[in-house]
Amino acid sequence: MIKPRAKTSVLLFLAGVLCVVAYAIINSPSVGLVETPLMNTTNAILIIMLSVATITTLVCSVDTDSILNSSTFKAGMSACICILGVAWLGDTFVQHNLEWIKETAGSLIQAHSWLLAVIFFFCSALLYSQAATAKALMPMALALNVSPLAAIASFAAVSGLFILPTYPTLVAAVQMDDTGTTRIGRFVFNHPFFIPGTIGVALAVCFGFVMGGLVL
């Protein structure tokens, strides 16, 4: 049964999303409506969505105690802490050892550019973030004169976040599954996300090399 004011909360959420999209479009340099934005899009997203959450809580008479105990809130806060902490730590480690990584892996990547996808794949599992992986390793790859085709095609491999069953959204999916069919295996890697995720990433990289070879 749908709770009272549930539709109102959905409409408020959609209004917040539309505000974020509108702000991003208005501040876009390609549109050129605003020369000097008051704040960047990232900060605007935080302010708008937190404001929408506050308005929703007040207008829809949400029980704040139930928010703290909900599985969605716990998974979200776990994701914030894990992704921010691990991604920051991993990026710091990579940047500090960048010269050593270049010397060690440089010749190997130059000879076999497809290995860049393998590096992206496993590093993304350690850095917990596609953005952190790309930010830390893509400049290094370009500095090693990796071909544009290999860099673009290998980019899909930064989605290897599912390798270890510790990624917050993966854990949240297991917790939210009431059927009990989604479980973490005894041997760490034998979880239901590993095989389909690996196949998807491998096909995406292969497809990137094929399409890139035709377009570039």
- pLDDT, mean over the chain: 81
Does residue 55 register a pLDDT over 80?
Answer: yes
The SS3 assignment for 187 reads coil
Q: Are 127 and 165 in contact (CB under 8 A)?
A: no
Q: Tell me the Cα Rg of the chain.
A: 21
Q: What is the pLDDT of residue 96?
A: 80
How many residues comprise the chain?
Answer: 216
d(CA 153, CA 6): 43
Lowest mean pLDDT among 12-26, 34-48, 87-101, 152-166: 87-101
Tell me how far apart the alpha carbons of residues 98 and 121 are, in angstroms, rounded to a whole number.
Answer: 18
Residues 6+ apart with CB under 8 A from 173: 182, 193
Measure the CA–CA gap between 23 and 19, rounded to whole angstroms.
6
Could you read off the pLDDT of 84-106 as tens digits, one per residue? 776 677 667 777 877 777 677 77
What does the pLDDT average to over 160-187?
A: 72
